[in-house]
Structure formats: C-alpha cells, structure tokens
Amino acid sequence: MRALLQWYVDAGVDEAQDAAPRNRFGLPRQAESIAAPAASPPPAQPPSPSAPENVKSLDAAEIAAACPSLADLRTAIAAFDGCALKRTATNTVVGDGNETATLMVIGEAPGAEEDRQGLPFVGPAGQLLDRMLTAIGLDRRAVYISNILPWRPPGNRSPTAEEIALCQPFVERQIVLVQPRVLVLVGGISAKALLEKREGITRLRGTWREFSPAGMTHTIPTMATFHPAYILRQPSAKREVWRDLLAIQKILSELGV
Ligand code: URA
C-alpha cells in the first residue's frame, strides 16, 4: 500500500477529490456521458484564452500597486480570487524573512510542505536553500524569500504562462516594498518570468543582470542560479551554484553588507 501511495505521489496524484474512490473505468456508458456530456448543450464558451487573463492580470497589478505595505499586500493576495490555483491550495504562501532585507530570493511556487505550512521554502529544497545561504554567511532570517506564485500548482505541476503572468504583479510589488539591493532568482521559472527571457536557466544563470519591477525607478543587480530542487536531483550542478553564490557574496560585501 505504501509503495502504491508513493507511486501516486510520484505521478503527481496527491490530492483526494472525493471521500471515497470511484472506478471511472467501471462506469456504465450512460454515467460516462454524465461525466463528459456529448449531446448536452455546450457549456458557455470561455472567452479567448488571453483576454480574461489579461483582465485578471490588470486586476492583480492594480490591487498590488494599491498596497502600501507588505502586510496589506499579504491580505490582498489572500483575498484575491482571480487565480484558480488558490482553489486547490491549502494556504496562500507569500514571503518570509526580513522585510527590509538587502538580499531577496525568488523561487517558483510553493511545494507540498510550503502549502501545508503557509511559508516559502520550508521543504527539502528550502532546507538546501538555507544551507546555500549559510555557506555565504547569511542566515535565512536576514533574507526575504518569496515565489513567483503564491499558490501551489496541484501535484507540483509546472505553472502555466497565464498563471505566472497573472501572479507576477504580486511578487514585483514585494520587491518594491522590500527594496532589496540584490535579487537572486532560483530556477528557470522565476528567471525567465522576471528577466523576460526565453532561454533556459543554464544560459541565464551566472551573470549579473539588471531588473526593475513595475513601480520602481531604479534597477536591481539580479543573479539567476539553479533551483535547489534541481541541485538535489543533480548534485553535479553544485559547482556552478557555488560560483554563483560566491559572486553574490562578493557583491554584498562590495555593498558593505
Ligand atoms: N520550490 C520553490 O520554488 N518555492 C518554494 O517555496 C518551495 C519549493
């Protein structure tokens, strides 16, 4: 049974939809057609895929811009109903750490443990992130840590481009409110989203770039590096990450931090 459950979790099936399992393969044809109506009138057509997301994205941008503090932003994100991911998540996960930090780290989205605890980077990848920060003399509590998405995609699937665009104003507003001097983007999702690049993380990592979120008048030195979850799967990536960490340590010491 344990092996079977693990197999489900590995396949991304980690949410119960009903109290009791249903054998959908065993449903009579009539019942099947209830689950997937063939002849019934078509449901109301959703508008074109980009239009509603644009509208919601504008809403998120407006809501975020109207928040004068992180506490307000946290409340506003928790009340925001424009992203379907919220419906399958247990908690809204915003930022954690020092709200006036010099260094801000941005990941992708909460995983299972983050969703349970309502805090970013507290699962196995988070524990490695803590050790990476310690290696360059930083305590996690001195840093502000957040994600592109405040809700866990079901089964840890990759977020869609629409979900990323929809939620991005929230993380950009956190950057404006924290005012970090240095940004670190861990993993391809946050690097590509914020740097507006199409290249993968292997190409984006390791060089300083300038990033300016909406509502900020200056740019912030920004380094992309591999995601700790990737390093756990691919320990050979540690060498490059160590180089990136040393570059981050150097810029922080140049800034007098
Ligand atoms: N991975 C992320 O990108 N963010 C988290 O908070 C946890 C795992």
pLDDT in tens, 21-35: 655 455 444 333 333
The set of protein residues with a Cβ atom below 6 angstroms from ligand 1 is: 107-111, 114, 120-121, 123, 125-126, 147, 187, 229
The verdict on pTM exceeding 0.85 is no
pLDDT band at 44 (very low <50, low <70, confident <90, very high): very low
Distance (Å, whole) CA 201 – CA 185? 10
pLDDT, tens digit (0-9, with 9 covering 90-100), for 95-131: 999 999 999 999 999 999 999 999 999 999 999 999 9
Mean pLDDT for 58-67 is 92
Mutate to test the pocket of ligand 1, among 94, 113, 119, 121 (most ligand atoms within 8 A of CB): 121
The residue length of the chain stands at 257
Q: Give the atom of ligand 1 at the shortest distance from the alpha carbon of 228.
A: 1
Percent of the chain that is helix, strand, coil (3-state, to 5): 50, 10, 40
The Cα–Cα gap between 102 and 63 comes to: 25
Three-state secondary-structure class, residue 102: coil
For 197-242, what is each residue's pLDDT tens digit? Answer: 999 999 999 999 999 999 999 999 999 999 999 999 999 999 999 9
Stretch among 46-55, 60-69, 150-159, 191-200 having the lowest mean pLDDT: 46-55
Q: What is the pLDDT of residue 171?
A: 98
d(CA 188, CA 105): 13
The distance in angstroms from the start CA to the end CA of the chain is 52
Query: Contact at 8 Å (CB) between 155 and 200?
Result: no
Substitution candidate for ligand 1 out of 108, 158, 233 with most atoms within 8 A of CB: 108
Compute the distance from residue 150 Cα to the ligand 1 centre, in Å.
Answer: 10
Task: Give the whole-angstrom CA distance, residue 124 versus residue 39.
Answer: 48
> Which of 147, 158, 163, 171 for mutating ligand 1's site (highest number of atoms within 8 Å of CB)?
147
Q: In terms of DSSP bridges, do strands 220-225 and 208-211 run parallel, antiparallel, or are they unpaired?
A: antiparallel
168-171: list long-range contacts, CB under 8 Å, 24+ apart.
168/57, 168/60, 168/193, 168/194, 169/57, 169/60, 169/61, 169/63, 169/64, 169/65, 169/214, 170/60, 170/64, 170/73, 170/77, 170/80, 170/94, 171/106, 171/146, 171/147
pLDDT at 43 over 90: no
Going from the Cα of 8 to the center of ligand 1, the distance in angstroms, rounded, reads: 21
Nearest atom in ligand 1 to 125's CA: 8
Tell me what pLDDT residue 32 has: 34
Alpha-carbon distance of 103 to 173, in angstroms, equals 15
- Cα of 33 from ligand 1 centre, angstroms: 39
Show the DSSP H helices in the chain as ranges: 2-10, 29-35, 50-65, 70-79, 85-88, 112-117, 124-135, 161-178, 188-195, 201-204, 228-233, 238-254
* Residue 147 alpha carbon to ligand 1 centre in Å: 7
Q: What is the pLDDT of residue 34?
A: 32
**CA–centroid distance, residue 187 to ligand 1 (Å):** 9
Question: Which among 97, 136, 50 has a CA at the least distance from the CA of 107?
Answer: 97
Distance 24 CA to ligand 1 centre (A): 33
With a cut of 60, say whether residue 9 has pLDDT above it.
no
Across all residues in the chain, what is the average pLDDT? Answer: 87
| pLDDT of 86 over the 60 cut | yes
| Separation in Å, CA 18 to CA 65, 111, 116 | 39, 22, 19
- pLDDT score recorded for residue 257: 80
Say how many Å lie between the CA of residue 30 and the centre of ligand 1.
43
Residues 163-210 have pLDDT tens digits of 999 999 999 999 999 999 999 999 999 999 999 999 999 999 999 999
At residue 12, does pLDDT exceed 60?
no
Amino acid identity for residue 12 in this structure: G
Question: Which of these, 138, 214, 151, lies nearest to 182 by C-alpha position?
Answer: 138
In the chain, the domains with their CATH numbers are 53-254 (3.40.470.10)
Nearest to 125 by CA among 25, 242, 228: 228
